[in-house]
Amino acid sequence: MSTYYLISSLPVINLEQRPSLTREDYLSQCRSQLRAADADASEALLFDLPSSHPFVVAWRDKETILKNAIAYARATKANADVEPWIRPTQGCDISYEVLVDEVFQLTDPLQRERGLDKIRWMIAESLQAYDPMDVTVALAYAIKLKLALRWATLDEAKGQATFEQLTTSKF
């Protein structure tokens, strides 16, 4: 088992291109190269499974802080009450609100969503240790892979059909 081997063999990924790895491929590599607890944490991050791993707990807290900032931005824009949408967190980070406010200046919903995922990417990187071969780099990679795969599977025609269905259906 070698965290070094895993990290050094990972392909570069970004939100603009389809990753060469699937979630399952990455999880298989984690299972063969990481301690069981860290491989389980990768699985939890990739598939939204429960976990008490410190990295997963930290990521989910940061994600909740970000979602709260998004809720504030949306409530402000809609002149609505935000309280029903706010979830408790262990920490706080006012910079998320600033970043979300910048993203909400974008008028294109797709670009806004990409901007929010860029913030998530940045948060994942901020959770990595300074050592480039620390296991947290592999765990942050799981988050980034999940984000990149999300963007790779978006289909414009399918999205347009869903939009049409939602906007023309009668309630």
Percent of the chain with pLDDT strictly greater than 90: 85
pLDDT in tens, 103-158: 999 999 999 999 999 999 999 999 999 999 999 999 999 999 999 999 999 877 88
- Under the banding of pLDDT at 50, 70 and 90, the label for residue 170 is low
Residue of 154, 160, 164 whose CA lies nearest to 117: 154
Mean pLDDT of 48-54: 98
Nearest Cα neighbor of 59 from 48, 72, 70, 71 is 48
On whether the CB atoms of residues 61 and 55 are closer than 8 A, the answer is no
Tokens (6 digits) for 132: 């480039």
Report how far residue 28's alpha carbon sits from residue 105's, in angstroms, rounded to the nearest whole number: 40
Triad 7, 56, 84: Cα angle to 5°: 140
Domain ranges of the chain: 3-8+16-150
Which tops the pLDDT comparison, 170 or 87? 87
Separation of alpha carbons 81 and 113, rounded Å: 22
d(CA 2, CA 35): 9
Q: What is the pLDDT of residues 76-94, one digit of tens each?
A: 989 999 999 999 999 888 8
Instruction: Tell whether the model's pLDDT for residue 40 goes beyond 90.
Output: yes
Q: Which of 68, 39, 65, 44 is nearest to 56 (CA)?
A: 44
- Look at residue 20 in the predicted model and tell me its pLDDT: 96
